[in-house]
Amino acid sequence: MKMLINVPETVVADALRGMAAAHPELAVDVENRVIVRRDAPVAGKVALVSGGGSGHEPLHGGFVGPGMLSAACPGEVFTSPVPDQMVRAAAAVNSGAGVLFIVKNYTGDVLNFDMAAELAEDEGISMAKVLVNDDVAVTDSLYTAGRRGTGATLFVEKIAGAAAEEGQPLERVEAIARQVNDSARSFGVALSACTTPAKGTPTFDLPAGELELGIGIHGEPGRERRGMMTSREIADVAVDAVLEDLRPRNPVLVLVNGMGATPLLELYGFNAEVQRVLTERGVAVARTLVGNYVTSLDMAGASVTLCQIDEELLRLWDAPVSTPGLRWGR
Amino acid sequence: MKMLINVPETVVADALRGMAAAHPELAVDVENRVIVRRDAPVAGKVALVSGGGSGHEPLHGGFVGPGMLSAACPGEVFTSPVPDQMVRAAAAVNSGAGVLFIVKNYTGDVLNFDMAAELAEDEGISMAKVLVNDDVAVTDSLYTAGRRGTGATLFVEKIAGAAAEEGQPLERVEAIARQVNDSARSFGVALSACTTPAKGTPTFDLPAGELELGIGIHGEPGRERRGMMTSREIADVAVDAVLEDLRPRNPVLVLVNGMGATPLLELYGFNAEVQRVLTERGVAVARTLVGNYVTSLDMAGASVTLCQIDEELLRLWDAPVSTPGLRWGR
């Protein structure tokens, strides 16, 4: 597998140098692997810190900025960052109003963020944590006890980030983050496996003419493998899998997320089918986002995340955000 | 090759239906294949219309909105739209202040936009045209007489779009668009070929361990094929190819553009090397944009575009823009 890299060992550091050059509005500590919004700490504001293995860009580093994350800690590809990065990030962004860790439910991330939260509290920082576990495809996987955290992470970071930006206190920001996670579910489909720089060959074997339903964001196994399906058929399976678990009574936010290598032309076409299924099932759509947001390196495929919202969550979703990966104004 | 589609024949229409659902701020005419900003025509404002074959998303439809294009006409994949679409788009957005066609230099596009401009003038619309031909890799290609239009299209559409948005007259908007194109050069590299829905197999054969230097955005041949290179080596070749032709004395805008399937992690790492070469060559960088903007379906690889700017062009580049694919505020 050919890659646009120097050597596997420097992929993350090289990317951080490139981010630093492209985004002077961020403070990128390449050596310690922490990305911080340059104006942090913001007086009186709760800070949001997330992180996880690299390879899912723009998540998380691309979501640092006003209205979303205060800092992000990138690990090696598909590998949790270490507690030292997280404590450093928390200390850099804490204004005294406290820090919320947003943690995707993978065993390594959970352990490391737990340890980091204890260490940060020892340093006198008020800490809270929220676990993201939205993937309905499988319970327990190669990397997870319970459900995996995937696309809903974007909704949690954006909506809780807006609440923090307008000055809400830590307990309230934490409660909103938890509400968003509880209201969101995802289901993903892979048409091809991804290739990590260190391994250099696909993480699993997906034969021509087959797809994997319920895929995770590291190429870990899903629910089942089937013969190739149309966009229409995939949308039926993915949306119904989410709705079976979520049963929304309110309007939803929709994320049609590319896994990395699927062209935007196809993602928009897939969105048309996702919207068709939602209409057929009587689910009202408040907002839709289509693009590559929570990726899995060069994997082809897509995931659908729905998040049931109320007026307050919609207001926070619509609030201005200014990050490399997600940006809109008033 | 597996694709997230229904059938090849409906790929473009399906994508337009998906765009319409995701972007209520755009008026998407699926049947006639025209994407228009919903508030058009804007009184007193010059309108910008572009278009071309589909498969390069977010270009052009994703660049419709305040501060950039007034309308876009998508053709079939890698196939020029027809004059009827262009005339319809021009009529929909013309406020009386005139319409500028932005045309990438491919034979089909040039012929069709020429014909459309004549027809639109017959209908009493003041018309101007600018040709984008920034690719230094080859003169004449499978689809082009002269140089191909690639990444600079984004700079032309953004900067001329900002000039139009602030009410500058047609002759001035046209002159600015021409200045941007004259000041911009690109060079692209492919690590893999792309696959069109209609063909279903890669458009050319690129063996394991080889890359194609000077690739176009349709998989048409480049300058030469070489054994696999590092990100560092590719940046040296690409930036030097551009600088040999451009020789900038002013600061430049940098676009590090993904061809579609290359992960953002790799694009940022590649940007680090591009910035290193520019520093070594004494070229000052004003702004940098990294991401998938002018793509070639699922091709892996990247291109570098540099655009020499002055204070006025930088001011227009920094002006607010609000489109699905490019968005920033004050």
Using CA atoms, how far residue A133 sits from A107, A114, A297, in Å, is: 12, 16, 21
Chain A positions touching B231 (Cβ under 8 A) are 4-6, 14
User: Is A18 an 8 Å CB contact of chain B?
Assistant: yes
User: Is B60 among the catalytic positions?
Assistant: no
| CB contact (8 A) between residue A14 and residue B327 | no
Of A243, A215, A213, A217, the residue nearest A229 (C-alpha): A213
Q: Does A83 reach chain B within 8 Å, measured CB to CB?
A: no
| B184-318: CATH class | alpha beta
Q: How many CB atoms lie within 10 A of CB B32?
A: 13
Topology classification of domain A8-183:
Rossmann fold (3.40.50)
Q: Is the ipTM of this complex over 0.95?
A: yes
User: Which residue of chain A is at minimal alpha-carbon distance from B275?
Assistant: A21
Residues of B in contact with A211 (CB under 8 A): 2
* Residue count (chain B): 330
3-state secondary structure of B286: strand
Helix (H, G, I), strand (E, B) or coil at B186: strand
Q: Which fold has domain B10-183?
A: Rossmann fold (3.40.50)
Q: Compute CA distances A43 → A166, A288, B124, whole Å.
A: 12, 33, 58
- Three-state SS across A130-167? EEECCECCCCCECCECCCCCCCHHHHHHHHHHHHHHCC
Cis bond upstream, residue B24 (ω within 30): no
Give yes or no for residue A197 having a pLDDT over 80.
yes
Q: Which residues of A touch B267 (CB under 8 A)?
A: 4, 18
> In degrees to the nearest 10, what's the CA dihedral of A215, A221, A222, A225?
100
Distance CA B143, CA B255 (A): 24
Helices of type H across B208-310: 231-246, 264-280
CA dihedral angle for residue A146, residue A151, residue A153, residue A154, rounded to 10 degrees: -170
Establish whether the linkage from the previous residue to A60 is cis, with ω within 30° of 0.
yes
Residue the block writes with tokens 């307990």: A171
d(CA B317, CA B300) in angstroms, rounded, equals 28
Judged by a CB distance cut-off of 8 A, whether residue B234 touches chain A is: yes
Closest by alpha carbon to A107, among A61, A134, A142, A157? A142
How is residue A214 annotated by DSSP?
Answer: T
Name the residue of chain B whose CA is nearest to A253's CA.
B22
Cross-chain Cβ contact B14/A58 below 8 Å: no
3-state secondary structure of A203: coil
Please, which residues 264-283 of chain A have a Cβ atom closer than 8 Å to chain B? 264-273, 275
How many C-beta atoms lie closer than 10 Å to residue A118's C-beta?
12
The β-bridge partners of B27 are: B36
Angle, CA of A132, A133 and A137, to the nearest 5°: 150
Q: What is the mean pLDDT of residues A195-203?
A: 92
| Test the A interface: residue of B2, B4, B64, B205 with most A CBs within 10 Å | B4
Q: Do domains B10-183 and B184-318 have the same CATH topology?
A: no
pLDDT by residue, tens only, chain B of 330 residues: 899 999 999 999 999 999 999 999 999 999 999 999 999 999 999 999 999 999 999 999 999 999 999 999 999 999 999 999 999 999 999 999 999 999 999 999 999 999 999 999 999 999 999 999 999 998 887 778 899 999 999 999 999 999 999 999 999 999 999 999 999 999 999 999 999 999 999 988 898 899 999 998 998 878 899 999 999 999 999 999 999 999 999 999 999 999 999 999 999 999 999 999 999 999 999 999 999 999 999 999 999 999 999 999 999 999 999 999 999 985
CA distance B131 to A197: 40
What pLDDT is attached to residue B17? 98
Q: Give the strand order in the sheet containing B71-77.
A: B26-29, B34-37, B71-77, B47-54, B99-104, B127-132
Active site residue A23: no
Give the residue among A321, A317, A330 at the shortest CA–CA distance from A286.
Answer: A317
Among the listed residues A45, A56, A147, A148, the single catalytic one is: A56
What pLDDT sits at residue B1? Answer: 81
The answer to whether residues A328 and A275 touch, using CB atoms and an 8 Å cutoff, is no
Domain boundaries, chain B: 10-183, 184-318
